[in-house]
Amino acid sequence: MLIISRVVSLGGIVAPRCTSLCVSHFSACHCLTSPKRRSPYSSVDSERYSSLLKSVMSARVSSQTPESLQAEDEHIYGPVVKAQAPSSAPRRREPRTLHPFLRSEETEETEESGPPVRISLNRGQGRSLVPSVTRILQQTLSPEQIFYLERWKRRMVAELGEEGFKEYSQNLFRQGKLFHSALEEILTAGDTKRNKSASETPEHPPEVRGYMESVSHVLEDISAVRAIESTVQHDTLNYLGIADCVARYRGVLCVIDWKTSEKPKPFLGNTYDNPIQVAAYAGALNNDDNYKYQVENGLIVVAYKDGSPAHAHQLNSELMLEYWNTWLIRLEEFTDPR
DNA sequence: GGATCCTTCTTCTTCTTC
């Protein structure tokens, strides 16, 4: 009985996500490539539950009440942070103003054999007021995303302590940065060096060797690197960012985003807002006079520390347009918050 | 030289059984 009331109360938090996700922005960024999810309760094995019930009823839980369970949770994880009421307005499917993803005028094809471009960010040139892609995505997270992120953090702090969590987070960031630096070095070096086994390059710090091994099969398919860690800015829409890489992947010119992850991310839907980030960079690059070409495709590469093969998620031009529209919605939410 | 910025990553139900 008591367990049931707990399940129900959890369901009260979880259920809105299940029903509203597909009409919120999640549908645009997550459901495009993954099959529709069924209700978590639609396949309940009633027989299993009946045995669970019996065991619960006979177990020594009689001193527990929903209130004590709630108190227990609060004791372990801290006060409950409730997700915003499910009645909150679902995200729009279309931006108020459509902006083209590609430039309308012809762009010249540039030489691909030269060294990759790297336009560094210079905030001093009237860019100080231009918001970044990361900041905009961060500040327009959905209530559901905020809820799950806060819950995750609460659990981690409960497990590791404040200091431990801080150290854990810093370590994740450090690994991500080292991984990016190692890739930058390899991709700048050109095809010859890159085609050697990435794991053989001894100059990489030990912490990134697994990640480099993980992406080695992807690097084999990368050619014609045109830009690395390069600033892209959209003057009309007023935002900027730094794209990890622009190169050909299996012959197709892509904006590439490298990611490290502790959890496997075999599906595009596992990458949360990453596709929106890539579309935002591509849209900016396509409207940035510093780049004399356009990019219609994207690639998100998720690397793993244990060296297991990275997942490479390709975003074709159709998908990029979908995420471009999602980006425009997020940008509007950032620019004129309701 | 110091301050600030961009980016780095974190979310998706949860348990038992084989």
Q: What is the pLDDT along chain A (338 residues), one digit of tens a residue?
A: 333 333 333 333 333 333 333 333 333 333 333 333 343 444 444 444 444 333 333 333 444 444 444 455 566 655 555 444 444 566 777 878 778 888 876 666 666 677 888 988 887 656 678 999 999 999 999 999 999 999 999 999 999 999 999 999 999 999 999 999 999 999 987 655 555 555 555 578 899 999 999 999 999 999 999 999 999 999 999 999 999 999 999 999 999 999 999 999 999 999 999 999 999 999 999 999 999 899 999 999 999 999 999 999 999 999 999 999 999 999 999 998 77
pLDDT computed for residue A91 by the predictor:
72
In this structure, chain A runs to a length of 338
pLDDT computed for residue A90 by the predictor:
66
Taking the C1' atom of every nucleotide in all shown strands and the CA of A11, the nearest one is: B13
pLDDT digits (tens, 9 = 90+) for A292-316: 899 999 999 999 999 999 999 999 9
| Structural domain spans, chain A | 2-35+49-77, 133-335
The crossing angle, in degrees rounded to 10, of helices A206-219 and A143-189 is 80
pLDDT digits (tens, 9 = 90+) for A113-154: 778 889 888 876 566 789 999 999 999 999 999 999 999 999
Domain A133-335 has CATH 1.10.3470: no
Is A257 among the residues known to form the active site? Answer: yes
Is A336 among the residues known to form the active site? Answer: no
Residue A259's alpha-carbon distances to A59, A62, A172, A308, in angstroms, are 46, 48, 11, 14
Which is nearest to A234 in space by CA: A275, A284, A165?
Answer: A284
Strand intervals (E) in chain A: 222-234, 239-249, 252-260, 297-303, 311-315
Taking the C1' atom of every nucleotide in all shown strands and the CA of A123, the nearest one is: B5
What's the CA A5/C1' B11 distance, rounded, in angstroms? 25
Is A288 among the residues known to form the active site? Answer: no
Angstrom distance (rounded) from CA A261 to CA A264:
7
Annotated active-site residue in A177, A191, A257, A305 = A257
